[in-house]
């Protein structure tokens, strides 16, 4: 079976910190930034464990504001 690695690019300026993407991630990759906020005053999402991303795109599907772009690459 092929293995995939993924990467999530977050549009920090438009993220409203709704946490839906964090909850939908099966590999616990995403987390809300605990200290910093964006220009709108929201804690935005970032990749806490980028090496664990499998590129499933669950986060991108559930984001109501389309703030996430998911990239997926086949390895091995």
Q: Read off the pTM.
A: 0.89
Residue closest to 17 by CA, chosen among 40, 44, 35: 44
pLDDT tier for residue 1 given thresholds of 50, 70 and 90: low
Sign, CA torsion 68/50/45/22 = positive
CATH topology of domain 3-75: Alpha-Beta Plaits (3.30.70)
Q: What is the pLDDT of residues 2-61, one digit of tens each?
A: 788 999 999 999 999 999 999 999 999 999 999 999 999 999 999 999 999 999 999 999
Per-residue CA distances from 3 to 29, 37, 56, 73, 74 (Å): 17, 34, 12, 9, 6
Instruction: Decide if 43 contacts 33 (C-beta within 8 A).
Output: yes
């Amino acid at each position: 079976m092929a293995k995939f690695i993924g990467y999530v690019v977050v549009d920090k300026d438009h993220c409203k910190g709704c946490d839906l993407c964090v909850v939908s991630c099966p590999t616990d990759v995403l987390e809300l930034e605990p200290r910093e906020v964006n220009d709108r005053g929201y804690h935005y999402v970032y990749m806490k464990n980028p090496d664990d991303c499998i590129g499933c795109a669950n986060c991108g599907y559930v984001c109501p504001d389309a703030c996430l772009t998911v990239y997926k690459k086949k390895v091995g």
